[in-house]
Amino acid sequence: MRIPISARSVALELLNKVTHDDSYANLVMPALLDAAKLETRDAAFAQELAFSTLRWQLTYDAILDTVSSRPVDEIDASLLNALRLGCHQILQMRVPAHAALNETVQLIRYACGEKTVGFANGLLRRVSEKSFEQWLGVIEAKTTSEVERLSVRYSHPQWIVRALQQSLLSDSRSESIDDLLRINNVPALLNLVALPGLSMRDDFRDVSESDNRYSPFGFTLDSGNPADLVEVKTGAVRVQDEGSQLAALALASFRDVAKGESWLDLCAGPGGKAALLAAIAEIENVSLIANEVQPHRAKLVSQALKAFPNVKVTVEDGRDFSNQPEKYDRILVDAPCTGLGALRRRPEARWRKSAEDLKTLTALQFELVQSAYAALKPGGLLLYVTCSPHLSETTAVIEKAIKQLAVRVLDLTAVMNERFMAGALPNNRKSIQLYTDRDNTDCMFMAMLTKEN
């Protein structure tokens, strides 16, 4: 039976693609919306419904497990996705409960078959008997630890809760764990960067909600599709979180640029930081190489740099740059990581990684730092960046580099406080850990390293 096209059917299709095909929601949704040809209001409803359901699925599964005679992990995956959509509409959207229930049951009839309708209808009616806060009280009462309670209240796997707790503790911010978990479930505003030399953010006052707090080039879009902006189509403006902008600015602005410098972005995909570096490199008349090991991501880098034909894009393993000893003045190592710092932007990311992935990731992160350090000129600048606050991916990598490579850590906090952040960063550490709840950016980690002369 063919499913009638609607906002809810598009949302279910997205969830099924994420579940069955390991698709990335932000990449798949535009194509689904284009194919469905929904009106603007319905398209916005589909995206909010799908993305928020992805974020809250652990909590919804706990609620469904309470009302179901069958364990949630034994429910067919597509049916479970539809039930999660129903939970979100009933509990957290401005949809009348009867309408949410009826529309979801009708969707299930088309998508999963008549035999599932009675089961689904019974579960969703039980769900509608309590408010979201009441259900949180029910499922929290079953937990046996604070980590488990936070996990079900804010829909984060327990290993992520522990990692965020440890990071906050290291920065004497333990009391902020609820705020950090909560904000990961709030969709981020659409943030853009006006690349210097090609555009100015003052030109977007009619569509901009506000300037970024710290980046002199960043602004948020109040509404609409950024792809409709001519400057986005030409590459003069890009969608980019302010934290990523600050990382590129940290490398480019840590000290004055000398004539003839050579810069390297070692892990450039998909190209956001490389584009901002390229814009600054062109103004400073220095060379930039943007490298990416994966060919499909290298293509994205080339697209991001279409306005900068002088930037060379290479497709090499970043660990092989140790074969180019002491060649570069500034190197950005934006290392592959768990992505725990961008959970509000990537709704399915918290379900994609596990604590077991860390061993492989941290080994790769150090190998990339090791390679970049070999390729760095004496006295040069090496910026290590991860979009994660996990201590294993941040300070632990730097501590290992200090011991094994004899790197020196420079005071990036002092420089960024003076040049961009107006003293907002705590000055008890040289490296920087941004926090979404405090800084309104992704949780970027940055450490500036150098090689002694």
Contacts of 157 (CB under 8 A, 6+ apart): 58, 151, 350, 351, 354
| CA dihedral of residues 103, 107, 108, 114 (deg, nearest 10) | 100
CA-closest candidate to residue 19, choices 343, 356, 351:
351
Other beta carbons within 10 Å of 206: 6
Based on the residue annotation, tell me whether 387 is a catalytic residue of this protein: yes
- 198 touches 236 (CB < 8 A): yes
Look at residues 427, 22, 337, 26 and name the one whose alpha carbon lies nearest to residue 187: 26
Specify the DSSP class assigned to residue 72. G
Which residue in the block uniquely carries the two structure tokens 């290993």? 159
In angstroms, rounded to a whole number, what is the distance separating the alpha carbons of residues 55 and 165? 19
DSSP codes of every residue in 125-160: HHHTTS-HHHHHHHHHTT--SHHHHHHHHHT--HHH
Cis peptide before 270 (omega within 30 of 0): yes
SS3 81: helix
Instruction: Extract the tokens encoding 169.
Output: 């503790």
Which of the residues 87, 267, 387, 443 is marked catalytic? 387
What CA–CA distance (Å, rounded) separates 214 from 348? 28
Task: List helix spans (H) across 376-449.
Answer: 395-405, 412-419, 436-439
Q: How far is it, in rounded angstroms, from Cα 251 to Cα 367?
A: 20
Per-residue tokens: 119? 């089961």
> Which are the catalytic amino acids?
387
